[in-house]
């Protein structure tokens, strides 16, 4: 993997921030965009822009072709059986909300249970909490070990005949821990439950095969994998999507809206995936995401993961030189992606992030939308998070550690 060649594809990496070269370590929040993705978006708007599916003119047909070919590309990327299993949404959050509302409101009620873990991002907690208030089902929270790994025994022991769906992040957005979702999916299916996987932090960083892992639903975001913001994917098994009610109503998601004086309005839904894509979709977002997938495929997902693991190992070793820095989460780097949560003794996470910013280093501070994990497991008021991607280098880590050492002097 030629990191220098990769870095040349990312114009933003030439920027200086506060008079220092930009070091972007906030990739778990969003990633930077390669020129290929930027060009694909420009090309679409400059040459092919029109609305999809609704016209017979040439531009519309071209735009439709771009949009649907993007869907096919993404289906292959995660090894979905077929392209109708790919629903375009705004991002992971909307994908999970779609399942919570479209599937949940029709299939969950009093006495039913939804199983989640305490390490989840708020987007895999709040939609279930909202719909549980509407439908009266129970949410069970599985424990997380002190090293921030999933307590598999606790998770599996919480399944019952009332469990209807298990919802688990593939990779923690705080610690980078990779969960064995295949194992949990099997237990879920053995108990007659479905399995939803939050893939926001996994699909960008490792090869994900939805058939091998036997996921029923997988949610992920384009902007965390070199694509544009405002586009994401819900993968759902075809037979499930076919049975589900629409999420939103409007154009595109219907086959027919008939009206008669005696019977009123009668609506026939469109087939999946369009049943779930009401209104004009983010066409260009899908095109940009497909280009991002093409880029990642060219690099190779195994290469992406290996690079991140090597960089994480190096960063953890170097950060240990800092006496006031504490790193959280499992020491087993073989089961981690490139995310390092840490604190600096005597300083708030925001102080550390602001100081890093002063040196051109972008890291995240706060709860990272995972308050339960911070308060119940890590016992932290907040944390800092450095997260890596394909364009990050050991030299950047060295500079980061230098800055941490300066911070320790405060």
Partner 1 sequence: MVSVEDYVARIEGTCGEEKDVIVVFKYDKKDEAIANILKKAKLKNTIAGIIFELTFQDISFRLYTSGKAIFRSIKNKQELNNLLANLLL
CB of 346 to partner 1, least distance (A): 11
Identify whether the C-beta of residue 254 lies closer than 8 Å to the C-beta of residue 268: yes
**Separation CA 125–CA 167 (nearest Å):** 9
Smaller CB separation from partner 1, 70 or 383: 383
Least separation in angstroms between residue 365's CB and partner 1 is 7
- The tokens for 226 are 């070199």
Q: Give me the residues that bind partner 1 (CB under 8 A), please.
A: 18, 348-351, 354-355, 357-358, 365-368, 374-375, 381-382, 406-407, 409-410
Give least dist CB 347 to partner 1, A: 9
In contact, 178 and 206? CB cutoff 8 Å? yes
For partner 1, the closer CB: 64 or 172: 172
CA dihedral of residues 3, 208, 31, 295 (deg, nearest 10): 50
Q: How far is the CB of 86 from partner 1 (least distance, A)?
A: 32
**369: annotated active-site residue:** yes
Q: Read off the tokens for 189.
A: 């299916």
Task: Give the distance, in angstroms, between the CA of residue 279 and the centroid of all CA atoms in the same chain.
Answer: 23
| Tokens of residue 305, six digits | 């993961």
Nearer to partner 1, 38 or 126 (CB): 126
Given the complex with partner 1, which of 286 and 403 has the nearer CB atom? 403
* CA angle, residues 280, 233, 373, in degrees to nearest 5: 130
In sequence order, the 6+-apart residues with CB closer than 8 A to the CB of 58 are none
Q: What torsion do the CA atoms of 85, 88, 94, 100 make, to the nearest 10 degrees? A: -20
* Distance in Å, CB of 63 to partner 1, minimum: 37
**378 secondary structure, DSSP code:** I
> Which H or E run contains 24?
strand 23-24
For 52, which DSSP code?
S
- Give the shortest CB-322-to-partner 1 separation in angstroms: 15
The first and second tokens of residue 300, run together, are 């190779």
Nearest alpha carbon to residue 354 among 384, 324, 376, 326: 384
> Is 367 or 391 the residue whose CB approaches partner 1 more closely?
367
**Which CB sits closer to partner 1, 147 or 357?**
357
Separation of alpha carbons 185 and 213, rounded Å: 7
Q: How far apart are CA 162 and CA 203, in angstroms?
A: 30
Q: How far is the CB of 374 from partner 1 (least distance, A)?
A: 8
CB 357 within 8 A of CB 22: no
Task: Give 12 or 354: the residue with its C-beta nearer to partner 1.
Answer: 354
Greatest distance between any 2 Cα atoms in the chain: 79
Residues identified as active-site: 369
């Amino acid at each position: 993997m030629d990191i220098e060649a990769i870095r040349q594809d990312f114009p933003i990496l030439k920027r200086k921030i506060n008079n220092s070269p930009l070091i972007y370590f906030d990739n778990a929040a969003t990633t930077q965009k390669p020129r290929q993705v930027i060009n694909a978006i420009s090309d679409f708007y400059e040459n092919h822009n029109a609305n999809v599916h609704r016209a017979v003119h040439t531009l519309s047909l071209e735009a439709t072709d771009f949009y649907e070919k993007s869907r096919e590309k993404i289906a292959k990327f995660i090894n979905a059986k077929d392209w109708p299993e790919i629903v375009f949404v705004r991002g992971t959050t909307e994908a999970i909300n779609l399942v919570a509302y479209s599937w949940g409101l029709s299939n969950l009620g009093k006495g039913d249970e939804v199983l989640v873990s305490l390490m989840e991002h708020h987007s895999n907690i709040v939609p279930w909490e909202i719909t549980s208030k509407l439908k009266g089902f129970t949410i069970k929270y599985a424990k997380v070990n002190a090293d921030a790994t999933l307590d598999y025994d606790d998770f599996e022991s919480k399944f019952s005949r009332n469990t209807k769906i298990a919802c688990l992040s593939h990779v923690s957005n705080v610690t980078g821990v990779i969960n064995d979702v295949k194992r949990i999916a099997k237990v879920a299916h053995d108990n007659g439950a479905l399995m939803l996987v939050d893939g926001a932090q996994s699909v960008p960083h490792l090869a994900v095969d939805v058939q091998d892992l036997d996921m029923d639903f997988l949610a992920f975001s384009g902007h965390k994998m070199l694509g544009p913001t405002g586009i994401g994917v819900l993968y759902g098994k075809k037979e499930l999507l076919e049975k589900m009610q629409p999420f939103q109503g409007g154009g595109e998601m219907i086959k027919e809206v008939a009206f008669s004086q005696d019977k009123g309005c009668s609506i026939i839904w469109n087939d999946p995936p369009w049943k779930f894509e009401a209104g004009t979709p983010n066409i260009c977002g899908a095109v940009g995401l497909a280009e991002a997938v093409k880029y990642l495929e060219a690099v190779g997902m195994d290469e992406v993961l290996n690079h991140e693991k090597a960089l994480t190992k190096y960063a953890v070793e170097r950060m240990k030189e800092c006496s006031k820095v504490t790193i959280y989460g499992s020491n087993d780097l073989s089961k981690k992606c490139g995310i390092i949560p840490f604190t600096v003794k005597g300083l708030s996470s925001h102080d550390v992030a602001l100081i890093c910013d002063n040196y051109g280093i972008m890291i995240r501070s706060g709860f990272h939308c995972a308050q339960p994990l911070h308060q119940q497991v890590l016992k932290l008021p907040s944390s800092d998070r450095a997260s890596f991607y394909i364009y990050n280098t050991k030299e950047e880590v060295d500079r980061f550690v230098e800055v941490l050492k300066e911070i320790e002097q405060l």
